[in-house]
Amino acid sequence: MPTGKRIYDISAPLAPELPVWPGDPTIALTPALRVARGEGANVSRLTLGTHTGTHCDPPRHFFDAGTPADALALTTLIGPATVLDLAHSSGTVTAADLTAINLPRATTRLLLRTRSTPWWTANNGAFDPNFTGLALDGAQWLIAHGIQLVGIDTLSIERYDAPPGEPVHIALLTAGVVILEGLDLARIVAGDYTLIFLPLKLHEGDGGPGRAVLIEG
């Protein structure tokens, strides 16, 4: 990496108090071995869901025969990305919001910075159902414009009050668009970056918690 390029960690902190989607497993980090007990090393037991914190949604999330997290192409997860500031949106990012951006034709990775960032501090640290999400026509706009990866700074790209059937997820994943959720874009200004997202290599994973970073320039 060229000298002087700033690196931003855009991952949510994994801690027991981190909100999770209602019904998903909560985070637990418990001691298994401890030096203080004379056991030679510190080792902890980690329990969490596959869609906890900063994570990717691969097609396997909704389709049993879909591509799992460990088989996603690294060339999709790593490369130039554009951050859009959509904090002005009313709670749903629509095709009209995206059209107004005048996005360069070569863009294939988009990260959406919304009014919800950082998502885990809202609602006194509890799950907040009033987060910003992507409208179905927004998802269709992304597909039509050749977007291969879309990320958002909320726990889900689909609004909590979306119609049944997860239409936004289904549309994006059917088109092969990888979804990143739970990003931390609080300190990130709109512009162009290099994205690196590496999910845990969970065999046949229906989701992939991971570490996401942006490199400026």
188-202 CB burial, b ≥16 within 10 A, e <16: beeeebbbbbebeee
| Cross-strand pairs, 28 | 47
CB 109 within 8 A of CB 74: no
- Domains of the chain are 7-11+53-216 (3.50.30.50)
Q: How far apart are CA 177 and CA 209, in angstroms?
A: 17
Active site residue 61: yes
Q: Which pLDDT band holds residue 4 (cuts at 50, 70, 90)?
A: confident
> Taking 70 as the threshold, does the pLDDT of residue 76 lie above it?
yes
Q: Exactly one of 51, 61, 88, 145 is catalytic; which is it?
A: 61
Per-residue pLDDT tens over the stretch 90-137: 789 999 999 998 888 889 999 999 987 789 988 888 999 999 999 999
Amino acid at 185: L
Q: How far apart are CA 191 and CA 179, in angstroms?
A: 19
| Cross-strand pairs, 214 | 8, 195
